[in-house]
Amino acid sequence: MSSKKPAVASPESIARAERQRLAHEEGERAMADLERQATQVRSNMERLRALRQAREADEMNNPPIPPPVVKKKRKKRIVR
């Protein structure tokens, strides 16, 4: 058994190295995209939380006025 690497790389090893390099670059782009999306989700959640808390504080200070109760009119039955 020889532990030395051959001086000239075979076409298969060159192709494999190229596939690995491309997969590594694609993986880095995918991770960056996922991180960017996660950041956008967190900022949107923060914005929505602030809106909800402001609405709840406004409701605590100014409780909504219930609408007046309107009685339903009964229909007259026609007896034949």
Q: pTM for this one?
A: 0.55
* pLDDT score recorded for residue 71: 85
pLDDT along the chain (80 residues), means of 10: 70 93 97 98 98 93 84 79
**Helix/strand/coil for 15:** helix
In angstroms, rounded to a whole number, what is the distance separating the alpha carbons of residues 22 and 6?
A: 24
In total, the chain counts a number of residues equal to 80
Q: Residues with Cβ < 8 Å from 43, sequence gap 6 or more?
A: none
- What residue segments make up the domains of the chain, in order of their start? 11-58
Q: Which residue has the tokens 């494999």?
A: 16
